[in-house]
Amino acid sequence: MILTDEKRFFHIPVMYKEVIDYLNLSPGKIIIDATVGTGGHAFYILKKILPGGKLIGIDKDKEVLEICAKRLEEFQRNFELIYGDFRNIDELIKDLNLPHIDGILFDLGVSSYQLQNPERGFSFQHNGPLDMRMDRNTFISAYDLVNNLNEDEISNLLWTFGQERWHNRIARYLVEERKKKHISTTLELAELVKKAVPYKYSRIHPATRTFQALRIAVNRELEALEEAIFKAVGLLNRKARFVVISFHSLEDRIVKHSFRKLSSDLKIITKKPLRPTSLEIKENPSCRSAKMRVAERS
């Protein structure tokens, strides 16, 4: 369901000035935003590639694509939105018969719409069903993982995808609670995690890493990322830029190692990842963990 006030999700995208600069945008270029979300970066990209340019926006969340289409409606002849997972980027654009691709952007963050819509179950700050599916046509939700995995499996998931120090304690608390009743909502899960984690040891909300780990597992984000990077590089025109923004160390590590594996096809532009400025972090604290890596097709 689309909220009627979708304009409140038209936030300034993370590191958009750096994205614009490093993509080397100019009129007539064809750019793929493979995680287009509500169109934050796409809006600024389109302004730079007109006249004559085209943006292809891909996302596996149909709801954010609807919001994106409204946001970009002034450019309607110069963009195309595609529903699908960026791990299938080559197949998704195959029938478009594009002459060349001059740049690709992966922004791996969760959209404001997903975080702020309680129905989606991504945030411990709003009560809603324990869902976390970016593509609501898939079957496995956070509810299924929390209520069906055994204690060891939950513990391993929290450590592997969230690097959660208290993974064993949290898993034990969840399994004990399940004996009484199913864990059905985001706030139920957040409260259980708070009970399990000694709060004085945490500088962030105790449930942050648990929610991150479940979201990554539900959406199979890490296994999709490397596959998507390799396919995307094969689509790029010579001298075309590839920009990836990640938000935690597991993602950044995959981007770094994938770029290295593709060294025969890519020139690394950013030897170290770029970070948001202190001013941007002050204005948008949620971007504080962002890292941006850039490579160029050789």
Q: Cβ distance 108 to 251 under 8 Å?
A: yes
pTM value? 0.92
Minimal CA–CA distance to 192: which of 160, 118, 217, 180? 180
Asked whether 210 and 201 are in contact (CB, 8 A), the reply is: no
Strands 103-107, 30-33: parallel, antiparallel or unpaired by DSSP?
Answer: parallel
CA distance 289 to 6: 26
For 130-139, 181-190, 224-233, 284-293, which range has the lowest pLDDT when averaged over its residues?
Answer: 284-293
Q: What is the pLDDT confidence band of residue 1, given thresholds at 50, 70 and 90?
A: very low
Domains and CATH numbers, the chain: 6-114+221-297 (3.40.50.150), 123-218 (1.10.150.170)
Place of tokens 């998507």: 228
3-state class (DSSP) for residue 230: helix
Q: What's the rounded mean pLDDT across residues 258-266?
A: 96
CA dihedral 194, 198, 201, 202 (to 10 degrees): 0
Q: What is the pLDDT of residues 142-191, one digit of tens each?
A: 999 999 999 999 999 999 999 999 999 999 999 999 999 999 999 999 99
* Phi, psi angles (nearest 5°) of residue 25: -75, 145
Contact between residue 32 and residue 61 where contact means Cβ atoms under 8 Å apart: no
Please give the average per-residue pLDDT across 94-112, as a whole number: 92
Q: Look over the chain and give the mean of its residue pLDDT values, rounded to a whole number.
A: 93
SS3 127: coil
pLDDT for res 12: 78
Residue with token string 């997972």 = 85
Q: Check whether 110 has a pLDDT greater than 90.
A: no
Query: If residue 81 lies in a helix (H) or strand (E), which one and from where to where?
Result: strand 79-83
Nearest by Cα to 137 from 34, 63, 222, 217: 63
Report the C-alpha gap between 236 and 272 in whole angstroms.
22
Phi and psi torsions of 58, nearest 5°: -120, 140
> pLDDT-derived band of residue 201, with 50, 70 and 90 as boundaries?
low
pLDDT band at 198 (very low <50, low <70, confident <90, very high): confident
- Compute the distance between CA of residue 116 and CA of residue 32 in angstroms, rounded to an integer: 26
State how far the Cα of 241 lies from the Cα of 233, in Å rounded to an integer.
9
Would you state the torsion angle of the CA atoms of residues 63, 65, 68, 69, taken in this order, to the nearest 10 degrees? -110
pLDDT at position 37 is: 94
Gap between the Cα atoms of 69 and 55, Å rounded: 12
